[in-house]
């Protein structure tokens, strides 16, 4: 039986217009929002610097060097990380010439990135080699780069210019690279070199300190990324008279970012791409702050490190919703910071062990291929971030890998739900659906409220269109990828669902979580007079049912959109067969989909899908339209192995709603009944006043069932489940006897063997 400890349900007795309609809709994605209107998380401790500057201390102290040298032999991953590090181009490439202000963006950007990366990688390798000649060569290269840091046109180019090569989002990473190099080689510098290098670094820090709010007036990643770099350098040069002011600016900017663009349970509201793009700056800063100043802010950031684990799909990937490509989560980079910290995802093991498990159960193959093909890694900072260097430094081979325990279905209060059959890796038997309902923000958000994507049969199926083809600035990003049409949502007169009010999460009305049936219902308005309740059901944890309840004061056009991912489509009226070839994203598979609703007309369309930068193509999707003021619409999605027969699906529509029978090839028959939203409903086949009913029969009788807002559910042969008030529940039976009932109500799940 699944553990069901997460709060669940706000019971409603009937689907009424007053309960559905919200007083105000949130602003559009591009409109200005109140950046103090949302509460995520922040660093709570007062700003602190060490009493005395000490080197090295940023990543490790001098006594750790022998262990770092020996780590390359610890296991296969350590050896692989070491091999990648010693092969990095920055160890041997010529130190680049200073660019001109008239050069193109790319060579200017690469100059500043390469100079900082040459400094960091060579400084580290000077400590790792036991060959004095090699060490001196590494040392000399690193010092030369630090002595030349920030030369050229950097201060003659305003980062506020469009497509600037010296954007503040790069500068934070360059600072962290230089900070590490200086920390490692401080004791090798002559007084003259030390003074020159510190002056160059201080100039850059002061420039960011004085200009940060002008460069990034809003608290998105353009504010936080340079701020975390500024904080790291303040810790490196902690005896500088302005270091405390720099660190205070860092913490202030960091907190502004994480309070608004992250939720209290760690969700990055800008999506996976910008999470990883920010992660490469905030995880180093957290290590630096802890190691140098003794302030452990990993506790404050813990939800943000748990979130990618909670929502990962069966291949270990974060989704391509919002402005994002799919992303792996390099959780091993922070596992050592959580070796002793408890997590809600396991009753005994520390979070560090789960982060190590996540790393060992993530498929990096598509990202490795993309790197080999295009030269870009998955961080979004390929020209700036010390990828191979920090992989080797941060990997801790001593941490065991422990799988999460308890319910694999995770409800996050801030609006995301991961329906999951199990925690298995790359298994055909696994099922995973992400249900999206996070309060909108105003930077990289898409029109995707109450959307869903899912993976099954070890293949990505229902999909989001993604970020863009290759970059943020492409026109097609706004012309297609940002549009409501590019997401699995419901439109009303062309409008997507919205927040009930600015920065207010669409409420979750009911959650059920058992080992055989999961369910959630979310609510969001389109306008002040039209609103949607969307429910996701997970029968037998084998396939997905989507129920959309529409209520409006006046009739309008309802359009239900479904994107089947990278597939081909065969359609017969309202039934679709999506076929997937084996590719970088999974195994060959099929998906059988049925769309149910009064008066809907199906249309096939085509639109781009991008999972990884540059790998874009057009694939089919479908639209189901009708005009109504009140109604319920169903999608039934059954994932199948290539050789498995499609289920027999029979639909009956009555004046009260819809009745669907799904018979699988093992002769198990599911009955799904939904009311149309006009009030209590009964049929001859299923007698209940519930708005949603699921009954599973294997030919010898009903043995599993569930209902939403039922006072009774008759199961035949004199068997019935009854409640004094409308109740949402799931139950297991045997021979007509109730073995177990899980009830959603009053924010808790109650499991009992009998009904009072």
* DSSP character string of 550-608: EEEEEEEEEEEEEE--S-EEEEETTEEEEEE--BTTB--EEEEEEEE-TT-EEEEEEEE
Spatial contact of 286 and 299, defined as CB atoms under 8 Å apart: no
Does residue 322 carry a pLDDT above 90?
Answer: yes
Q: Which of 337, 349, 436, 321 minimizes the C-alpha distance to 394?
A: 337
Average pLDDT, integer, range 246-269 = 98
Looking at 155-159, 226-230, 237-241, 249-253, which range is the least confident one?
155-159
Looking at 10-19, 251-260, 745-754, which range is the least confident one?
10-19
Q: Which of 182, 143, 144, 173 minimizes the C-alpha distance to 59?
A: 182
Question: Tokens standing for 725?
Answer: 């008030």
- Give pLDDT tens digits for 669-709: 999 999 875 555 566 667 888 999 999 999 888 899 999 99
In the prediction, which pLDDT does 151 show? 98
Average pLDDT, integer, range 21-42 = 68
In the chain, where are the structural domains located? Answer: 17-28+406-752, 62-394
Q: Could you tell me which residues come within 8 angstroms of residue 70 by beta carbon, excluding any fewer than 6 positions away?
A: none
* Reduced DSSP (H G I as helix, E B as strand, rest coil) percent helix, strand, coil of the chain, to 5: 30, 30, 40
Q: Could you tell me which residues come within 8 angstroms of residue 449 by beta carbon, excluding any fewer than 6 positions away?
A: 436, 437, 440, 489, 496, 497, 498, 499, 506, 524
Average pLDDT, integer, range 555-565 = 98
Is pTM beyond 0.85 here?
Answer: yes
Bridge pairing between strands 490-492 and 508-513: unpaired
- Give pLDDT tens digits for 571-589: 999 999 999 999 999 999 9
In the prediction, which pLDDT does 685 show? 66
Bridge pairing between strands 544-563 and 702-716: unpaired
Residue found by looking up tokens 């008279």 in the block: 241
Q: Which of 562, 588, 566 minimizes the C-alpha distance to 576?
A: 562
In the prediction, which pLDDT does 9 show? 35
Kindly report the backbone phi and psi dihedral angles of residue 350, in degrees, each rounded to the nearest multiple of 5, phi listed first.
Answer: -75, 160
Max CA-CA distance within the chain? 93
* DSSP character string of 625-656: EEEEEEEEEEEEEEEE-TTSPPPEEEEEEETT
3-state secondary structure at position 38: coil
Q: Which of 12, 20, 19 minimizes the C-alpha distance to 727?
A: 12
Does residue 251 carry a pLDDT above 70?
Answer: yes
Does residue 3 carry a pLDDT above 70?
Answer: no
Distance between CA atoms of residues 43 and 458, nearest Å: 39
Distance between CA atoms of residues 648 and 661, nearest Å: 8
Distance between CA atoms of residues 728 and 747, nearest Å: 12
Residue 316: how many CB atoms within 10 A of its CB? 22
Distance between CA atoms of residues 434 and 420, nearest Å: 9
Distance between CA atoms of residues 253 and 257, nearest Å: 6
Does residue 25 carry a pLDDT above 50?
Answer: no
Looking at 360-364, 598-602, 677-681, which range is the least confident one?
677-681
Question: CATH number of the domain at 62-394, please?
Answer: 1.50.10.100
The residues that bridge with 536 in the sheet, in sequence order, are 520, 546
Distance between CA atoms of residues 306 and 259, nearest Å: 17
Bridge pairing between strands 669-675 and 657-663: antiparallel
Looking at 179-183, 194-198, 239-243, 469-473, which range is the least confident one?
469-473
Looking at 125-139, 296-310, 473-487, 645-659, which range is the least confident one?
645-659
Spatial contact of 631 and 677, defined as CB atoms under 8 Å apart: yes
Average pLDDT, integer, range 143-154 = 98
Determine the Cα angle at 195 with ends 193 and 198, to 5°. 105
Question: Tokens standing for 682?
Answer: 């009964």
In the prediction, which pLDDT does 6 show? 29
3-state secondary structure at position 346: strand
Residue found by looking up tokens 């070890």 in the block: 458
Question: Tokens standing for 324?
Answer: 């994002």
Question: Tokens standing for 177?
Answer: 């690279």
In the prediction, which pLDDT does 5 show? 31
Distance between CA atoms of residues 690 and 549, nearest Å: 13
Residue 582's region, left for phi above 0, alpha for psi from -120 to 50, else beta, is beta
Distance between CA atoms of residues 224 and 457, nearest Å: 39
Distance between CA atoms of residues 181 and 485, nearest Å: 48
Q: Which fold has domain 17-28+406-752?
A: Beta-galactosidase; Chain A, domain 5 (2.70.98)
* DSSP 8-state class, residue 252: H
Question: Tokens standing for 650?
Answer: 């029979």
Q: What percent of the chain has pLDDT over 70?
A: 93
Average pLDDT, integer, range 438-456 = 95
Q: Which of 274, 282, 216 minimizes the C-alpha distance to 251?
A: 282
Spatial contact of 270 and 223, defined as CB atoms under 8 Å apart: no
Cα-atom radius of gyration of the chain, to the nearest Å? 28
Split at pLDDT 50, 70, 90, the class of 188 is very high
Q: Could you tell me which residues come within 8 angstroms of residue 238 by beta carbon, excluding any fewer than 6 positions away?
A: 49, 50, 53, 292, 293
Bridge pairing between strands 416-420 and 530-539: unpaired
* DSSP 8-state class, residue 483: S
Question: Tokens standing for 648?
Answer: 């027999």
Spatial contact of 729 and 742, defined as CB atoms under 8 Å apart: yes
Q: What percent of the chain has pLDDT over 90?
A: 85
Residue 306's region, left for phi above 0, alpha for psi from -120 to 50, else beta, is alpha
Question: Tokens standing for 362?
Answer: 């993530």
Does residue 231 carry a pLDDT above 60?
Answer: yes
In the prediction, which pLDDT does 474 show? 94
Residues in the chain: 756
Q: Could you tell me which residues come within 8 angstroms of residue 598 by beta carbon, excluding any fewer than 6 positions away?
A: 626, 628, 631, 653, 676
Q: Average pLDDT of the chain? A: 92
Q: Which of 579, 592, 591, 575 minimizes the C-alpha distance to 619?
A: 579
Question: Tokens standing for 146?
Answer: 């630090």
- Give pLDDT tens digits for 90-109: 999 999 999 999 999 999 99
Q: Which of 599, 520, 612 minimizes the C-alpha distance to 555?
A: 599
Does residue 746 carry a pLDDT above 70?
Answer: no
Question: Tokens standing for 52?
Answer: 């005395």
The residues that bridge with 720 in the sheet, in sequence order, are 714
Distance between CA atoms of residues 97 and 83, nearest Å: 28
Determine the Cα angle at 77 with ends 71 and 78, to 5°. 15
């Amino acid at each position: 039986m699944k553990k069901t400890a997460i709060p669940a349900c706000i019971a409603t007795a009937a689907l009424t217009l007053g309960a559905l309609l919200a007083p105000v809709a949130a602003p559009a994605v591009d409109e200005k929002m109140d950046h103090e209107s949302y509460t995520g998380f922040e660093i709570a401790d007062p700003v602190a610097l060490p009493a005395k500057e000490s080197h090295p201390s940023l990543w490790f102290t001098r006594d750790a060097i022998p262990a770092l040298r020996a780590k390359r032999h610890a296991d296969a991953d350590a050896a692989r990380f070491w091999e990648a590090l010693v092969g990095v181009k920055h160890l041997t490439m010529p130190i680049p010439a200073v660019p001109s202000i008239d050069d193109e963006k790319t060579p200017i950007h690469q100059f500043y990135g390469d100079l900082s990366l040459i400094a960091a990688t060579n400084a580290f390798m000077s400590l790792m080699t036991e060959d004095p000649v090699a060490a001196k060569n590494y040392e000399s290269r690193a010092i030369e780069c630090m002595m030349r840091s920030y030369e050229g046109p950097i201060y003659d180019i305003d980062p506020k210019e469009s497509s600037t090569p010296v954007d503040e989002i790069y500068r934070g990473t360059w600072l962290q690279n230089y900070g590490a190099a200086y920390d490692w080689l401080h004791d090798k510098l002559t007084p003259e070199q030390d003074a020159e290098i510190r002056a160059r670094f201080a100039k850059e820090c002061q420039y960011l300190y004085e200009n940060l709010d002008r460069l990034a007036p809003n608290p998105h990643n353009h504010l936080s990324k340079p701020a975390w770099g500024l904080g790291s350098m303040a810790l490196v040069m902690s005896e500088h008279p302005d270091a405390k002011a720099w660190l205070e600016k860092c913490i202030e900017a960091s907190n502004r970012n994480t309070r608004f663009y992250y939720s209290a349970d760690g969700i990055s509201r800008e999506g996976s791409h910008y999470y990883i793009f920010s992660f490469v700056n905030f995880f180093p800063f957290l290590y630096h702050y802890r190691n140098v100043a003794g302030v452990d802010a990993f506790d404050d950031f813990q939800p943000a490190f748990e979130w990618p684990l909670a929502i990962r799909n069966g291949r270990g990937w974060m989704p391509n919703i919002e402005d994002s490509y799919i992303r792996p989560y390099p959780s091993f980079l922070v596992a050592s910071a959580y070796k002793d910290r408890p997590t809600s995802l396991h009753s005994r093991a520390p979070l560090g062990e789960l982060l190590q498990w996540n790393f060992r159960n993530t498929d990096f193959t598509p990202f490795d291929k993309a790197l080999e093909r295009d030269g870009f890694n998955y961080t979004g900072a390929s020209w700036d971030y010390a990828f191979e260097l920090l992989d080797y430094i941060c990997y801790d081979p001593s941490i065991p890998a422990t799988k999460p325990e308890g319910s694999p279905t995770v409800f996050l209060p801030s609006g995301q739900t991961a329906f999951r059959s199990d925690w298995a890796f790359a298994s055909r038997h696994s099922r995973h659906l992400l249900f999206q309902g996070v309060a909108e923000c105003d930077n990289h958000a898409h029109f995707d409220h109450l959307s869903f994507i899912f993976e099954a049969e070890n293949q990505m199926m229902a999909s989001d269109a993604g970020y863009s083809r290759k970059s943020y600035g492409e026109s097609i990003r706004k012309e297609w990828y940002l549009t409501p049409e590019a997401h699995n949502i419901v439109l009303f007169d062309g409008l997507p669902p919205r927040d009930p009010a600015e920065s207010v999460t669409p409420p979750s009305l009911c959650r059920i979580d058992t080992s055989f049936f999961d369910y959630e219902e979310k609510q969001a308005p389109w306008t002040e007079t039209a609103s949607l309740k969307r429910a996701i059901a997970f029968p037998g944890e084998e396939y997905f049912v989507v129920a959309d309840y529409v209520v409006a004061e006046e009739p309008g056009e309802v359009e239900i959109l479904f994107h089947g991912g990278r597939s081909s489509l065969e359609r017969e009226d309202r039934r679709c067969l999506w076929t997937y070839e084996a590719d970088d994203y999974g195994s060959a598979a099929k998906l059988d989909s049925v769309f149910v609703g009064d008066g809907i007309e199906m249309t096939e369309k085509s639109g781009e899908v991008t999972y990884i930068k540059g790998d874009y193509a057009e694939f089919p999707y479908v639209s189901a339209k009708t005009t109504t003021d009140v109604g319920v619409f169903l999608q039934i999605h059954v994932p199948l192995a290539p050789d498995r027969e499609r289920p027999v699906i029979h639909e009956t529509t009555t004046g009260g709603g819809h009745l669907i029978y799904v018979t699988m090839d093992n002769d198990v028959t599911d009955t799904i009944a939904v009311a149309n939203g006009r009030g209590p409903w009964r049929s001859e086949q299923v007698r209940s006043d519930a708005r949603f009913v699921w009954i599973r029969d294997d030919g010898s009788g009903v043995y599993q069932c569930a209902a939403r807002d039922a006072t009774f559910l008759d199961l035949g042969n004199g068997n019935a489940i009854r409640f004094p008030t409308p109740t949402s529940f799931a139950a297991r039976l045997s021979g007509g006897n109730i073995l177990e009932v899980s009830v959603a109500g009053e924010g808790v799940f109650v499991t009992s063997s009998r009904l009072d």
